[in-house]
Amino acid sequence: MNSVLQALLHTPPLRDYFLSDRHNRYYCQLKNGVKLCLACDVDAMFSAVFSGDRKPYSPAKFLYSWWQHASNLASYDQQDAHEFFISMLDGIHENVERDRGKPQRHGDCCIAHRVFSGILRSDVMCMACGFTSTTYDPCVDISLDLEPHQVTAHGKTSAKSHPSSNTTTSTLIGCLDRFTRPERLGSDQKFFCQQCQVSQESLKQMSIRKLPLVSCFHIKRFEHSHTRKMSRKVDRYLQFPFSLDMAPYLSSSILRSRFGDDGDDVAANEMSSEFELFAVVTHSGKLDAGHYVTYLRLSNQWYKCDDAWITRVNENVVRAAQGYMMFYVQKMLYYRASAQVCPS
């Protein structure tokens, strides 16, 4: 929990929202009566962390509220950081939607979705006639598979090796390329073509129609095999850039490369595709006995947040870390963020 909270507390749009009193917990409690509100507890947490008091802060009240929202995760056992992240955003969203007492319109979303929500586009094309079915789905993060080992003709893996270990290397760029690469679906996944009026083999391709203000990438490091009835952690090293251009993964770019037109250019022009890395959540140890640490980038200085211990680190330490979740913010928002804020 602490690792994700450190990242969220230093997410520029979230920080600006709560520190500018956009969600006033006192007014919220007066308006709605005495009840649990995750957004109110987040507001209290921001106030305490950025109050100037340098003593460690314990988010006990927030933890209690979160347990009420996610009773299946209510324990002192270690929880998955990604699962906590999704659960926390859902909790804030549900509180805000309930307090408004009406369904939210497009563009009238809570702060959690205003910051993290993007839109994915999925195209499934019939291999027989070329008919394409397109669907759009909102997302608050993108879960990425690590690149598979590539075996050469001599039976050896062709993946690079991390300089300081014998483990093979994946890259975030490679993971994104794989995520948006056309995938031929197997015969057991035939798609019903509206034009052919029969089930046909198909080609599926994912792309990003709308980028969020903050992009969160979750790396699938925990594998679960139902056939083997076993789970394991993937310790492969992942290279990730500090600056990231998402333009190649936008629907407009992919459609342009496929058809030579800008059929989905509207959403692409809404905001910049350039992002800056500001937080990395890492996991060390085994599947059932590990430890999460967060690295924060503030004014181009990196800090290691290991529970109550905050230390400055060199960027090479961050590059060598085993990334599990990476948070990128729109470049314009990163440079606009206050240079005086220090990690808590």
Asked if residue 343 is part of any domain, the answer here is no
Domain span including residue 194: 2-336
- Burial class of residue 229 (count of CB atoms within 10 Å of its CB; 0-12, 13-18, 19+): exposed
Distances (CA, A) of 98 to 24, 25, 26, 318: 16, 15, 17, 40
> What is the structure's pLDDT at 191?
87
In a domain, 249, yes or no: yes
Does residue 95 belong to any structural domain of this protein?
A: yes
User: Is residue 93 assigned to a domain?
Assistant: yes
| Interior angle at CA 226, CA 67 and CA 83, nearest 5 | 25
Residue 85, judged by CB atoms within 10 A of its CB (0-12, 13-18, 19+), counts as buried
pLDDT at position 105, please? 45
Residue 342 resides in a domain: no
What is the pTM (predicted TM-score) of this model?
A: 0.86
134: CATH = 3.90.70.10
Q: Is residue 344 part of a domain?
A: no
The CA distance from 114 to 95, in Å, is 15
Are 10 and 91 in contact by the 8 Å Cβ rule? The answer is no
Q: Answer whether residue 341 is part of any domain.
A: no
C-alpha of 92 from chain center? 16
- End-to-end, the C-alpha distance of the chain in Å comes to 15
How many structural domains does the chain have?
A: 1
**pLDDT averages per 10-residue partition of the chain, 344 residues:** 92 93 83 74 91 85 78 65 90 65 51 94 94 94 82 45 55 96 89 92 95 96 70 85 96 84 54 92 82 93 93 96 95 70 53
The pLDDT of residue 108 is: 44
